[in-house]
Structure 1
């Protein structure tokens, strides 16, 4: 008898799967529906779920099964390989199978045509460059090695992308497929340009700015074999490529490879697992590897391939630290003079500040009152062009005040500065230069990001001011000067990775200067000129920084010398949240977990009106054993009503 029943999972935090009958008149066999989406009655609701198995009988515990309402896909969206990967994600990141499948391909009812991508093949970007002997060596080592995990570690501008593309060409020539991951959507535009014309088939693109229907269209292109190379941000790691031969993970150090919602997967870990399952190679690259990856290179887990030179010419820029404590303005006289000189030479300037808005807090000079978000435990940021105080965590907005709500004083003002205020000052000092700002506020409008980057690359913009969007992977031949307006914005964060992130940003931003010339300059303004992350970052002394940072981590028992599991409880009633987490934490201790820290209030104690507390479980050797005990305790402990639980395996930040 043909299989008639199907097992379905939903995007809910439920470990169970649910039995259903096929709808009346369905001609396909149940086994052919594995990997398809269905609409099915669930309690009082109708939900979309995933078919994960088929059977000709119901499980013993199930007496009868309702029929699914309809089958949403003509062909399965997932093959067995991706169903197996979802099973691993569910097990490792402690989420349900339905949550794992849903993060792989969200939404999308019908398929939609995508606009054409990239430039024409005649564009000068696609001319093949001659590899340096260093690049040739790296290419040979990677392609001829039987090892699975490779790390291309090289200074900014050392030609890592060209090596990536040559390895990809070799893999495609063997009839295999390639997955190319970048950390930011802004970088997909440049990579599409680089890939178009280089390869016979147009790359498929997967990222969060596509509508669900567009994403589904690309998904089907990949499944059909029409696209043999896929480019995308984090979630593209799930692309349904057959015969996968290579995953490239560019700018491996970027924290955006880690998901901020359930399941909290890391793109690097998932890529490693996919390569293991499919026999493909993983090729990572960065000028500033994450501390964990550096340690894995030292241990030989990742094969280190080194690039020390800039093949396009261009020496590493001259980097100078400017002590901002000696300046009365947020733009020091030395930075202003350097900008003036470079602009008069007809060259371009990038200014970097990792803080958007105009001023980042409002305070009363009489009583010290500080205006915080009414729903979060952080100060509101003043956005002058919108005349609003805005919370960057929950989006709460309020009009700026002219009187202190505590003491009634009119002696109130704004302190700190963001990209808007820097933009004002630069426009006043250099009125004849073309200036563009690139941050999440300005890039919200569709097409602005790509248009600004293209305009700057073509020389129509003299000064580009931006946040992290301008720091990563972008190449602008006309840039001679890079100014980091304040290098220590991230150093004060209560997070063990704060120094690593600050160091990485300095090196990456500095790498935008002098990529095609020998006279690049970088000026780094800071309130902490003696901080090791800033000193080593400005010296470009990578080895010394990692040695220093690894010693710090070893002393504190933080990764890579341990692994962490973080449990966050959040809810409207802070007392209830803390009590619930205390109860769970007690269970961890009673189970004999050796190193349990907490519960404690999260550094960001309230977000969107939810009080947040966390407990950390640390493992120095037996991670799989500790993971197993934690998983068992979590699956047997109920979360009280009105409280939400977040589970983060190997967290990249503790805020």
Structure 2
């Protein structure tokens, strides 16, 4: 009776594929193991086993697998369930989820390479005809791909032949293809056993009398060994003794020192742990108890705690209780910038039970973290990570904390799966019967709505820790300031006075501008022309640091123009401003102070965030200018003043969430001020100081904002009252984009009537030479989400069957942000 397995391939396919396995293989194979399988004419892919059965596929003949890659599963049953849920809810393929969920080193899509084994001797090994042909070909050519072996033998199934050759030690298969992950090894040295006795040691030092450098190395070795019994790295020995690596090598050649290698973790932290007891204030203690009560009744609880109210301490207490029961904790953060500060705080408390996982880690580092979690290693009790951490192979999850749950960075935009980590975490917690805590000073309307309607528990923490006063928020009307000539560059006189006062008192200042670069528009004053990106419908942003005009959508860049490209006039000026320009102006206004900048341009490297944040924490910088990275829950003790350079470009945005977002962003930035005994100050510069949102920020009126916005959402049928699915139609051909979008909108309107909006061009309608058009589908609460998606899938299948639309792509985004 033939045996079969269903696998998930790392490709955007709608269903799993079935392969045939031998009864022996079937016994070894378990769900979640990786297998190499042939797919298509000649490709070999790494796939994950998702099912075992004895039913042959009806439509095609099942091929045999190429080889089994694991001895034990690398994917857990819960992960497979989660992938299936993500694929169905976010309307994408399981293969796309697989690619997002597994570190790249696990998924290789290339052919094996065959080489002759070192020291191969044809006379000594008995080979049959096929094996002889392969070895002969390899003597003429140093290596062959599997495809080439198939041509040599003129047959498809060459793996049995190769396996026999491997068993006879005639050839080696280059495992590089399958195992990209290599453990990190460090070179250590130790003194050979025979010199450990005192007599031999003195004799050795006498013998080395003529080689002073080598003698110095041995003396340093004894010194270091006396201080610590830890294994000694070659690096440490060379740096302490001042010797060269050649000196060490000659000691190894003389059989005095012996070298050896040990595997070490790539991700290690140097801080010593100081397990300080965390003492909760009365208010925090009562909140902690309320959360525990809420989580007894419900699985999800929302903690609405104002900025600097001490939410992290409450989280730590909850984590402590969960890991005491031997369970794992996932702590989700919206931004890598935040992990830096939190690692310190959690490590000071939990020591080396904390692991970190995010996209700035290398492939090998991610594999290491993945394996620790999979093996339920004590090192992986607490996993701190950005959104992709929800895909880790947890064994026994007890609690998920989603901090700053309102952040849009929890939503993946491209490529698929376009999942929201906050919502996925709720489902993941369900699989483990774990609890989930959402925390934010400015919760998203959806979460607050769920809490108000008793779907989630709700706990409020409305005073700052240690009864520190909330910052005083002042709005500056820059329209009037311009008229009265009281502006210096982009700074009002009030803001300059406050900065000067804060710096005099040796306090720090944060300035926020949500645009990077120097200035977003370069304009000719003679003819009005401004340089545009040739690939996208946007103007080029001027970056003074690199003296370039850059497109922030596709990365296109040209050198800064000295004259107008249209009329050759030299009278050109920049309009608008970004973080670079503020930094330049500040350097001119405050030449004696250190000024730093934190945006995408300055945080490209792996440790770039860390360097800037640490420099600011240690008061090496006096003023920090930055984009929204600054708003994400960072805790600086010495910030007296926060300045928001221009509130208007946040508010005037064509999006139903614009007001909610700008309220959250401004309040979060404001929350960085005055987090210790001295009261902080926040200045918001705006051309429209009487705008409702600006006023609500100035009085920290979250409930007022919620009431207004929820009313608008109800009237205009937006979330949380209606669900949304957004379709983005894109193609390089303008008329095709229009035709296909009209066709799709009509097909959807036939079923969903007035709940279809569009097609509509977005504000930036062309990116990387592709034209975009959007359609929005609204789903009322009473309408079944599952059935809606079934209908949508049928419409999309018909759409893809139209030959004229072959070159058009439709991107489906469920619950767009």
User: Do they fold alike, i.e. is TM over 0.5?
Assistant: yes
Residue in structure 2 matched with residue 157 of structure 1 by the alignment: 308
Which residue among 60, 63, 66 is the counterpart of 1:62?
A: 60
1:8 aligns with 7
Within 1, Cα distance between the matches of 2:36 and 2:382?
29
Q: Please report how far the alpha carbon of residue 581 of structure 1 lies from its aligned counterpart in structure 2 after TM superposition.
A: 2.1
Instruction: From 388, 412, 418, give the equivalent of 1:259.
Output: 412
> For the structure 1 residues 111 and 266, does the alpha-carbon distance in structure 2 shift closer, same or farther, using more than 3 Å as the test?
farther
Aligned residue number for residue 566 of structure 2: 406
**Judging changes above 3 Å, is the alpha-carbon distance between structure 1 residues 631 and 111 closer, same or farther for their aligned structure 2 residues?**
farther
| 2:272 match | 120
What is residue 572 of structure 1 aligned with on the other side? Answer: 732
Residue of structure 2 in register with 1:287 after alignment: 441
**CA distance in structure 2 between the aligned counterparts of 1:571 and 1:161, rounded to whole angstroms:** 46
Match of 1:84 among 67, 77, 81: 81
Cα offset, 1:404, TM superposition? 2.5
Secondary structure of the residue that 1:334 maps to in structure 2?
helix
Establish whether residue 110 from structure 1 lines up as the match of residue 181 from structure 2. yes
**Native 8 Å contact 2:37 2:45 kept in 1:** yes
Separation of aligned partners in 2, 1:419 and 1:404: 24
- Aligned twin of 2:645: 485
Deviation digits for residues 574-601 of structure 1, max 9, x if unmatched?
A: 1112211222222212234551111111
Indicate whether 1:651 and 2:816 are aligned: yes
Flag structure 2 segments of 5+ consecutive residues without an equivalent: 106-179, 184-264
Paired position in structure 1 for 2:124 = none
Q: Alpha-carbon deviation of 1:200?
A: 5.3
2:244 is the alignment partner of 1:173: no
Contact 2:31/2:77, CA 8 A, preserved across alignment? no
For 1:408 and 1:26, locate their aligned partners in 2 and report how far apart those are by CA, in whole Å. Answer: 77
**TM-score of the two chains, using structure 2 as the length reference:** 0.76
| SS of residue paired to 2:360 | coil
| Bigger Cα displacement from structure 2, 564-573 vs 576-585 | 576-585
* Matched-pair contact (CA < 8 Å) for 2:524–2:564: yes
For residues 599-610 of structure 1, the aligned pairs below 5 Å read: 599-610=759-770
Q: Are positions 1:239 and 2:392 aligned together?
A: yes
SS for the counterpart of 1:216 is helix
Q: Match of 1:179, SS?
A: strand
Distance 2:522 2:764 in 1: 19
Distance (whole Å) between structure 2 residues aligned to residue 537 and residue 35 of structure 1: 52
Alignment of 1:421-570 (within 5 A): 421-570=581-730
Q: CA shift at 1:300, angstroms? A: 1.3
Distance 1:523 1:629 in 2: 51
Match in the other structure for 1:191: 342
Kindly indicate whether the alpha-carbon contact (under 8 Å) linking 2:760 and 2:774 is maintained by their aligned counterparts in 1.
yes
1:13 CA drift (Å): 2.4
Match of 2:478 among 324, 329, 342: 324
Q: Which residue does the alignment assign to 2:212?
A: none
Q: Using the TM superposition, give the Cα deviation of residue 242 of structure 1 relative to its aligned residue in structure 2, in angstroms.
A: 1.4
C-alpha separation in 1, matches of 2:431 and 2:278:
34
Distance 2:69 2:339 in 1: 30
After TM superposition, the structure 1 stretch with the greater mean CA deviation from structure 2, 257-266 or 170-179, is 170-179
Relative to 1, partners in 2 of residues 1:376 and 1:521: Cα closer, same or farther, differing over 3 Å?
same
Do the aligned partners of 1:107 and 1:213 also contact (CA within 8 Å) in 2? no
Structure 1 gap segments, 5+ residues each = none
- Quote the Cα distance in structure 2 between the aligned partners of 1:531 and 1:420: 28
Query: 1:121 & 1:556 partners in 2: Cα distance?
Result: 53
Judged with a 3 Å threshold, the aligned counterparts in structure 2 of structure 1 residues 586 and 427 are, in CA distance, closer, same or farther, namely same
Aligned-pair CA distance for 1:531: 1.6
Note if contact 2:273-2:351 (Cα within 8 Å) is conserved in structure 1: no
Aligned twin of 1:215: 366
2-side partners of 1:4 and 1:371: how far apart?
A: 63
Which residue of the partner structure matches residue 132 of structure 2? none
Higher share of residues assigned helix: 2
CA positional deviation for 1:533 = 1.6
Q: Which has the higher contact order (CA 8 A, sep 6+)?
A: 1
Aligned length: 646
Which residue is 1:101 aligned to? Answer: 98
SS in 1 for 2:439: strand
Contact kept in structure 2, 1:313 and 1:515, CA below 8 Å: no
- Other structure's SS at 1:591 match: helix
Paired position in structure 1 for 2:169? none
Structure 1 residues 307 and 413: alpha-carbon distance in aligned structure 2, compared to 1, 3 A threshold? same
Q: Give 1:4 deviation, angstroms.
A: 4.1
Corresponding residue SS for 1:638:
helix
Alpha carbons of structure 1 residues 439 and 118: separation in structure 2 relative to 1, 3 Å: farther
- Asked if the contact 1:30–1:54 (Cα under 8 Å) also holds between the matched residues in 2, the reply is no
Looking at structure 2, the residues matched to 462 and 408 of structure 1 have their Cα atoms a distance apart, in angstroms, of 42
Deviation, structure 1 residue 201: 4.2
Aligned-residue CA RMSD (Å) = 2.0
Three-state SS of the structure 2 residue aligned to 1:579 is helix
User: How far, CA to CA, are the matches of 2:716 and 2:528 in structure 1?
Assistant: 35
Kept in 2, the 8 Å contact 1:318–1:522? The answer is yes
Structure of higher CA gyration radius: 2
Q: 1:310: which partner in 2?
A: 464
Question: Residue 532 of structure 1: CA displacement?
Answer: 1.5
Q: What is the distance in 1 between the residues matched to 2:35 and 2:650?
A: 43
TM-score between both structures, scaled by the size of structure 1: 0.95
> Do the aligned partners of residues 608 and 636 (structure 1) sit closer, same or farther apart at CA in structure 2, a change above 3 Å counting?
same
What is the alpha-carbon distance in structure 2 between the residues aligned to residue 389 and residue 72 of structure 1?
Answer: 48
2:427 alignment partner, one of 255, 264, 273: 273
Q: Following the alignment from structure 1 to structure 2, what is the Cα–Cα distance between the partners of residues 635 and 114?
A: 46
d(CA) in 1 for partners of 2:76 and 2:797? 28
Go from structure 1 to structure 2 and tell me whether the alpha carbon gap of 1:129 and 1:17 turns closer, same or farther (over 3 Å shift). Answer: closer
Determine the structure 2 residue equivalent to 1:396.
Answer: 556
Cα deviation 1:271-305 (Å, max 9, x = unaligned): 11112222111100000011111211211112111
TM-fit CA distance, 1:537: 1.1
In 2 relative to 1, CA 416–39 (structure 1 residues): closer, same or farther, beyond 3 Å? farther
Go from structure 1 to structure 2 and tell me whether the alpha carbon gap of 1:72 and 1:645 turns closer, same or farther (over 3 Å shift): farther
Which whole-Å CA distance do the structure 1 matches of 2:716 and 2:297 have between them?
36
Contact 1:86 1:101 in 2 (8 A): yes
The separation in 1 between residues aligned to 2:47 and 2:40, in whole angstroms, is 10
| Aligned mates of 1:636, 1:117 — CA distance in 2 | 54
- Quick one: distance in 2 between partners of 1:374 and 1:30? 56
- Mapped partners of 2:581, 2:24: distance in 1: 62
Where does residue 381 of structure 2 map in the other structure?
Answer: 228
TM-superposed deviation, 1:43: 3.4
Deviations 1:101-156 (A, max 9, x none): 2211240231543231262212xxx5333212221122112223231010010110
Q: Given the superposition, is the C-alpha separation of residues 593 and 170 from structure 1 closer, same or farther in structure 2, using an over 3 Å criterion? A: farther
1:129 equivalenced with 2:294 (yes/no): no
**Which shows bigger deviation, 70-79 or 177-186?**
70-79
Residues of 2 paired with 1:588 and 1:561: CA distance?
20
For the Cα contact (< 8 Å) 1:118–1:189, is it kept in 2? no
